[in-house]
Structure 1
Amino acid sequence: MSKTAKGKRPVYFDDPQTDKVLAIVMALIGEVSVLRERLDTIERLLEAKDILAIADIEAYQPDDSVAKEREQWRAEYIARVLRVLQTES
């Protein structure tokens, strides 16, 4: 399944740059919304089953390998979000 939309990007504003910013914001809103719901579910399940307390999550310090994995994911994520600025319609 492709993660990119097919067809031309919809136009909402006279300035194409404004449309690009809107596309970035909407992509971020979608990502953050889904992540927030999933994280909330996981935290509630872990706490309800006495597996992990929210305080344990807050106190977690990632080691170097986890930090590197997170940095790679972050770079790829930013590239996906900003893809609209790199491609022309």
Structure 2
Amino acid sequence: MAAEGVEEVASKEQLTAAQKQLLRKRQDLDYWKKNAQKIRSRNRITGLAIGAFVIGMFSYTILSVKQERIMEDIDNEAKINYIRGPRTGTNS
């Protein structure tokens, strides 16, 4: 076992740049194959979290706009009452 490791290190030193790049790509591919399920589940969780955030912001925005319309109606009523003036015995 130890001899194989030494031979492997010695053979890696003799590799060309293209062979080293191919070896790195092979290692990356093996990593992605090995961890694909874990990465996929993390991506799903992240996607669901982002989706929940977007839906929450959209709902909050719609709710705020509805309340804004109510406030506009109240403001319009206040303007009308202000224009009419105060109710006294002479103008009622």
TM-score calculated relative to the size of structure 1: 0.39
Structure number with the bigger relative contact order (C-alpha 8 A, sep ≥ 6) is: 1
Greater Rg over alpha carbons, structure: 2
